[in-house]
Amino acid sequence: MGTNVLSDADKRVIIAKRAAREIKNGDYVNLGIGIPTLIPNFLPKNVEVILHTENGMLGYGPYPFEGDEDPDLINAGKETVTELPGCCYFGSQDSFAIVRGGHLDATVLGSMEVSETGDIANWMIPGKKVRGMGGAMDMVAGTKKVIVAMEHTTKEGSPKILKKCTLPLTGKGVVHVIVTEFATFDVTPTGLVLRDKESGISLDELAKITEPAFKNR
């Protein structure tokens, strides 16, 4: 496979499929903007989850078919979604009470950087216009399992998994699992542990695009 063969679309699908494996049947899950929103399309048939959005929707489904969109049914990224049986709605205060009360089993977020100790930087780049931090800081602080689903490197080929984040942090020591198009890492007290990798990339190739050292399970 190498590290430069995949298209952006291929990477997004591979990452979403990998991240979907981290979700367990019956989990209450929040999906961040970007790659994580693809996950409902790749959940195994025997896995049913209850999806939560910060804007006050619980129990939504995948993207609607073209022509079936309802502009009133949107996720936190303002993308149209579908209702599932039992779907319910509430205000932002209740939505964030779910998060801050520790009622979410998992959240899947994209990120610009993640450190070997589980720090995450995904809300701003200094000097660039930012609309706001959104709910990411609440998510990483209040959710039982934090999964990062992101491309392994920047567009320039620099590692996004770092010894130490260089961008402003969203949370410190909060990430449990890192999922990329090439590998899945567990974040442990003794460092990163490679759980699995794509067959088309060697350990040496993976090490070259991952700044910290990692153990091979």
* Other residues' Cβ atoms within 10 Å of the Cβ of residue 66: 6
For residues 199 and 2, give the distance between their C-alpha atoms in angstroms, rounded to a whole number. Answer: 10
For residues 148 and 36, give the distance between their C-alpha atoms in angstroms, rounded to a whole number. Answer: 9
Using CA atoms, how far residue 217 sits from 142, 145, 170, in Å, is 29, 20, 28
Buried/exposed 118-145: b ≥16 CB within 10 Å, e otherwise: bbbbbbbeeeeeeeeebbbbbbbebbeb
Choose, from 22, 48, 54, 151, the residue flagged as catalytic: 54
**Phi, psi values for residue 205, rounded to 5°:** -65, -40
For residues 173 and 108, give the distance between their C-alpha atoms in angstroms, rounded to a whole number. Answer: 15
Active site residue 54: yes
Torsion of the alpha carbons at 19, 24, 27 and 30, rounded to the nearest 10 = 0
Q: Going edge to edge, which strands form the sheet with 106-109?
A: 82-89, 57-61, 50-53, 28-31, 106-109, 145-149, 177-179, 183-188, 191-197, 214-216
Q: Which residues are tagged catalytic?
A: 54
